[in-house]
Amino acid sequence: MNRLYFKFGVMGSSKTASALMCRFNYMQKGSNVLLLKPAIDTRVKVNEVTSRIGLSAPCYAFCEDKNLIEIFEYENQKQKIDVIIVDEAQFCTAQQVDQLRQLTEEVPVLCYGLKTNFKTQLFEGSKRLLELADSIQEIKAVCQCGKKSILNGRFVDGLLVTEGEEVVIGGDETYKALCYSCFKKEKQKAKIQDKLVKYLKIFKDMDDAGTWSGDSTADNIVLQEPYVIYDEDVSAFIEDFKEFQVPHPEQTVVVNDCVKDLKKIAVKDKSFDYVMTLISYVLQMETIRPGLLKTLIEDGTITKWLKQIKKVTSNI
């Protein structure tokens, strides 16, 4: 009995090369192969399947509204088809996978593709293949750290992104196969760059981070100590930093809250965690010593700390 096969792997795991070698093996035995791929894959010629190692073969490229049973019947009239091989099968619609399942009543069908997208979610075609395939096989690949890659990371300007359109055609310059641990590190790095490092440019030449204010005097009212009304950008920084706030930083960083002492702290060789704890400490002390953050921004200390954060996260 003919079967539906789904062979999946991450980007760069030689899925296409495996599909083309499978085609070659069938052809060596005198079998006629119908090689298919979704037309959305435009990295090379539309009617060609090409692998990174240089193997290639002509194929039938189909659109998402095309009925694959009709394609098979048309090609089968020209010459008897013995097997169907589908590359980039994740881009098939669920309906097209149902059609491939139906075609196994005629011939074996072998599908090669990704399992999940850059958001770590199943593609429509992959989901349906996992539900219907008789045989599911992983084509394994290695992460940059040496562990097994399981996720496909999309990168823009060197940083991992987890939002955007599901399908963006690209190669090694856009995608990287990662293990879960490296994916988490790259995600954290991107978040830090987006949320915090951007304030380097803003704080670099900031000579007035906020203005002092105090409650007006009135009879029988206890006056509050003066406080700082921070600049909009500084307020945004404080809000963004809440996501990285270190609880009880005073238990980790033992330092005098004197501005001179904080400014003297050498962070050149300090870790990301240490610098983040320093900022958390300053924000905590701000409730006791209003204006501490203002002073450290205006004298360049926070900028120095952010530079170190950028340095260490760039090397994650």
The pLDDT averaged over each successive group of 10 residues in the chain (316 residues) is 95 94 97 96 83 92 96 96 97 98 98 96 97 97 94 88 80 86 90 90 91 63 72 94 87 71 86 90 89 93 93 78
3-state class (DSSP) for residue 224: coil
Check whether residue 97 and residue 12 sit in a common domain. yes
**Does the annotation mark 73 as catalytic?**
no
CATH number at residue 122: 3.40.50.300
Q: Among 139, 168, 187, which residue terminates a domain?
A: 139
Check whether residue 210 and residue 93 sit in a common domain. no
Check whether residue 129 and residue 208 sit in a common domain. no
Query: Which tokens go with 226?
Result: 């003066």
Distance separating alpha carbons of residues 306 and 126, to the nearest angstrom: 42
Distance separating alpha carbons of residues 249 and 279, to the nearest angstrom: 9
The predicted-structure confidence for 241-286, as pLDDT tens digits, reads as follows 998 888 888 777 766 667 788 888 889 888 888 899 999 999 998 8
Domain assignment present for residue 9? The answer is yes
Domain assignment present for residue 216? The answer is yes
Domain assignment present for residue 179? The answer is no
Domain assignment present for residue 263? The answer is yes
Distance separating alpha carbons of residues 295 and 82, to the nearest angstrom: 76
Domain assignment present for residue 252? The answer is yes
Total domains, the chain: 2
Check whether residue 28 and residue 121 sit in a common domain. yes
Q: Decide if 301 contacts 281 (C-beta within 8 A).
A: no
User: For residue 3, which phi and psi values (nearest 5 degrees)?
Assistant: -130, 160
Domain assignment present for residue 145? The answer is no
The active-site residue out of 73, 75, 88, 286 is 88
Domain assignment present for residue 235? The answer is yes
The predicted-structure confidence for 227-240, as pLDDT tens digits, reads as follows 899 999 999 999 99
The whole domain housing 118 covers: 4-139
pLDDT at res. 222? 46
Distance separating alpha carbons of residues 138 and 152, to the nearest angstrom: 14
Check whether residue 202 and residue 126 sit in a common domain. no
Q: Decide if 206 contacts 297 (C-beta within 8 A).
A: yes
Q: Among 117, 139, 161, which residue terminates a domain?
A: 139
Check whether residue 235 and residue 310 sit in a common domain. yes
Distance separating alpha carbons of residues 301 and 316, to the nearest angstrom: 23
Q: Among 139, 156, 181, which residue terminates a domain?
A: 139
Place of tokens 């809000």: 239
Q: Decide if 125 contacts 100 (C-beta within 8 A).
A: no
pLDDT at res. 287? 86
